[in-house]
Structure 1
């Protein structure tokens, strides 16, 4: 067991199947970047001319772009980051391919070309593929707003059947519905809720199962990763046992309750995705959950009979204080990757780690938030210390490893079950930021508008 081992080779030695995957984009996947490392922009909607996409069977591995070569050496799975969402397939870039053409308003006109190329590439190289995502209001075509409830229902069903049937046998696991929950744990009043009613999630899963009875179907959401303190019979929060309050406990509970309801109704759902977009310097609703919080959340979801994966993990560090040096930022990032994944992997139901990109050169964070370095390879595809953190987490399930081992070794074992050790030391206390004082206006706790805005459009986002 050496530090030169790749993530996929370590995963292959784990005592259970573990997907170690990354989100991928077509432009760096198929095109070589400039040697000066200024190269191809990381814009998620970037497209590739069809005549530039190489035949995967005719391209020797040593001639592949460095981005692509890294994926093949390090990962056993991919997820399509942007181009498989409904809007990009039928309305916005990359459909239609001609960038001089206006977006199509014609229902039923799909452009699968970019996804086809990425899926064929993955299959040729024996990579597992996760489809992301069939239904998400943020990336759905805007013309749904102008339709009647009956028309929206028909369009949603048609989209699920069209997309899943097109990739049937090639994409075998799908994120069916994404981010339907508000911060208070109730359903967002998005276009699907308003037009189809609150049971639209159940219906989408039933349609997805009908479209492909063999597909593995997942519900995916954000800021649901941690289950913290629980309420006692007298209404007090359990704090004396080393459990802290989760960043958004109401949403974590709403996530669990939604999954429980679907399972109890016999809805064909097989897995739950917890996104894992963490900010080391975050406070309030952006505060990172502790490993014990993550483990508790996975445990109770697993008890429903579902598999659980960390579906879009990255760890932002630029919002740590200006006084934080590079070493402290690296320590915080590595500890979040290693300890949270070690705790997650210790649960039998946890089966997958999907990073939302792998190199800081191509991260959505720079497009939607600010300059940051949230991933495990740097801009020149060199392994960072956070890469070693992911390595170490995977090794906890390998022969000779210690399940749940975290940064700090023996002394860190307590953080699997609680957030403070016997000496009163809290997990992450070297870098975790104190909560700001209340300003008298109450705590801003993410999206409480029922509009379901993504994080990057919300105020007070750190």
Structure 2
């Protein structure tokens, strides 16, 4: 089956009538259509943008982080920024390290930096039992709920226009029965129930930003997550996208599992985001580890064999997902091995910023195989048609140019080129 059949849902045909500033048709001229951005969201976590935007690192590290960001921007159009209410030990500092003193200014600078570079930004997460504020434990359950509502209202309102996509609530399947340590969010999840807490948190987020894109996100891809989503939809909760985590530290899912997961979650008819994808380029984590955070190693190198394996898996997984009509976004959890969660060799670039084979493979797909750059000629009436991947385009005709969005509307467009 050719690309046209497999990826028809990712493409559209556009007919345009080109005229000059006087209204005359641009006849018999060569026109180049160059895609400048995908409609599909390809991304990763880009927490380093916080340090780059605020320049709050040693001077000798800043060029290294800027180089890392440049490599990210050369492929991706989508980034996740961290909003962990409390500290994520050995990985990420708290958004609100001291009660009433959130890092709003720092995160706004990072979001603005990315937005200025045409990157869509998602905030992660608004509600989670892990890495949540420790002072919640001093409150009653009623007070915890009020504090969580206030937190949502503050962040979603403060970042409106910069961040209009949120992982609203994270890992609810396990939330009410989480017993690794006591935390305020599990307490209120026990009171409200899974569907109840989701309903409350989605309603509060929607109230704060009616136009935001709201995700339910989970690592549990069993039927327990199916049942939870079904319960939410039956309760009228307006989930915009289903978020599926795919941390594969213990081995690649493979085509069979990937297609089974896609088939099962497609039955809801909602767009799907692969929110936290991980494929290793080194030794795999032992299979007996249940909570990935429990695996403690100080040295976890990327290896030549592992990098070749990662590249093949990235190519297959991204191709399967891009071909699926309900998948709208694929976000790797790490872009780089430098500072990676649990020290895993999970990035597309090594600790020294040198690209791995997976980086080159993905760049070839996103900026080569799946990107449109075509040259056509207008007819006597200035009419021209082309087919391309959905997204943003620049049109050039001689020394004149224009820009437009290619989507599925199929309508003829009249464009004045200047």
Q: CA deviation at 1:361?
A: 2.2
Name the structure 1 match of 2:107. Answer: 115
- Identify the structure with bigger relative contact order (alpha carbons < 8 Å, sequence gap 6+): 2
In structure 2, stretches of 5+ residues that fail to align are: 1-33, 180-185, 287-300, 374-418
SS for the counterpart of 2:215 is strand
CA contact (8 A) 1:338 1:392 kept: no
Cα displacement string for residues 427-459 of structure 1 (whole angstroms, at most 9, x for unaligned residues): xxxxxxxxxxxxxxxxxxxxxxxxxxxxxxxxx
Q: 1:360 to 1:128 in 2, by over 3 A?
A: same
1:133-162, Cα deviation, whole Å (9 max, x unpaired) = 100111211122232221122112111111
Contact 2:122 2:165 in 1 (8 A): yes
Q: Secondary structure at the match of 2:156?
A: helix
- Aligned CA distance change for structure 1 residues 15 and 254 (closer, same or farther; 3 Å): farther
| CA shift for structure 1 position 64 | 8.3
As a proportion of its length, which structure holds more strand? 2
Partner of 2:242: 272
Are residue 312 (structure 1) and residue 270 (structure 2) matched? Answer: no
**Per-residue deviation at 1:310?**
1.6
Count of residue correspondences: 314
Distance 2:56 2:255 in 1: 39
Which of 184, 188, 201 lines up with 1:192 in the alignment? 188
Judged with a 3 Å threshold, the aligned counterparts in structure 2 of structure 1 residues 32 and 131 are, in CA distance, closer, same or farther, namely closer
- Choose which of 15, 36, 43 in structure 2 pairs with 1:21: 43
State the SS of the aligned residue for 2:217. Answer: strand
**Pairwise CA distance, 1:76:** 1.0
Q: In the aligned structure 2, how far is the partner of 1:188 from the partner of 1:93?
A: 22
Alignment match, 1:359: 336
TM-aligned CA distance change 1:176 to 1:193, over 3 Å = same
Aligned-partner SS, 1:134: coil
The 1:192/1:163 distance shift into structure 2, 3 A limit, reads: same
Q: Normalising to structure 2: TM-score of the pair? A: 0.66
Q: Distance in 2 between matches of 1:315 and 1:321?
A: 11
* Cα distance per residue 1:386-440 (max 9 Å; x no partner): 123434554665579xxxxxxxxxxxxxxxxxxxxxxxxxxxxxxxxxxxxxxxx
Aligned: 1:375 with 2:347: yes
2:212 aligned with 1:215? yes
Counterpart of 1:333? 310
Distance 2:205 2:230 in 1: 19
Does structure 2 conserve the Cα–Cα contact (< 8 Å) formed by 1:342 and 1:396?
no
Task: Kindly provide the CA deviation profile for residues 252-300 of structure 1, in whole angstroms up to 9, marking residues without a partner as x.
Answer: 2111221122122220111122222212xx2xxxx43222322232233
Greater CA radius of gyration, 1 or 2?
A: 2
Secondary structure of the structure 1 residue equivalent to 2:265? helix
Residue 181 of structure 1 deviates from its aligned partner by 2.1
Instruction: Give, in whole Å, the separation in 2 of the partners of 1:161 and 1:275.
Output: 25
Structure 1 unaligned blocks of 5 or more: 1-11, 41-51, 53-61, 97-102, 225-251, 367-371, 401-462
